[in-house]
Chains A and B, each alone.
Chain A
Amino acid sequence: AQKITQTQPGMFVQEKEAVTLDCTYDTSDPSYGLFWYKQPSSGEMIFLIYQGSYDQQNATEGRYSLNFQKARKSANLVISASQLGDSAMYFCAMRGPSGTYKYIFGTGTRLKVLA
């Protein structure tokens, strides 16, 4: 069964520094996709970045990049030049079993950016 593990309940980072949020996953599907979402205190989940299992390069979206290590089954999110507005919950997610339409989310990491 698919599983997403985020082992960091909370993280602190100094403004303008980079931070890495960890995510490991488990799946038996040969083809899969991994997502990162940000949830500010307002509640809305905001899509940040996507990595496909067959993508040759790590995904990047502005200040967000994904450190994808397929053999280790890890998909860590790297936020460069942290900003105060980056303070939020961050969730790693993947599609459920092949053919289904549910997504599985990790327990999240609460990031606090310090001024």
Chain B
Amino acid sequence: KAGVTQTPRYLIKTRGQQVTLSCSPISGHRSVSWYQQTPGQGLQFLFEYFSETQRNKGNFPGRFSGRQFSNSRSEMNVSTLELGDSALYLCASSLGRVQDNEKLFFGSGTQLSVL
């Protein structure tokens, strides 16, 4: 079974630009979550999608948005990039059950550098 696939692996952008990151979950998984990881803030939850609907959203500005397609693939978009958006963006997939033992399966992440 293929794991979670994130593309691209690395991105370099300049301030003011926008960027789109892609995530393909494990086959059969309907939930996709996105996390931002930085040395200073650690892992922070961005949002979670289930069956094309956003179920949860973290405390990030509206420049961060996402969507999920009918095949469960998800994209994350960041508009008007700022230097502080430089981070590793991790995507995680799961079955989407609201259970304590529901574990997440992560991709290798997209390393975004904003210059």
Contacts and interface: CB of A to CB of B under 8 A. Distances in A.
Interface of A: 31-33, 35, 37, 42-47, 50, 52-53, 91, 95-96, 99-108
Interface of B: 31, 33, 35, 42-43, 45, 48, 50, 55-56, 58, 88, 90, 92, 96, 98-109, 111
A50 B101 contact: yes
Taking chain A's interface residues, is the majority helix, strand, or loop, or is none over half, making it mixed? loop
Given A33-B100, A106-B42, A101 B108 contact: no
B45 A103 contact: yes
A42 B58 contact: no
A99 B98 contact: yes
A106 to B, nearest CB: 7
Contacts of B107: 44
B43 A91 contact: yes
A35 B43 contact: no
B55 A101 contact: yes
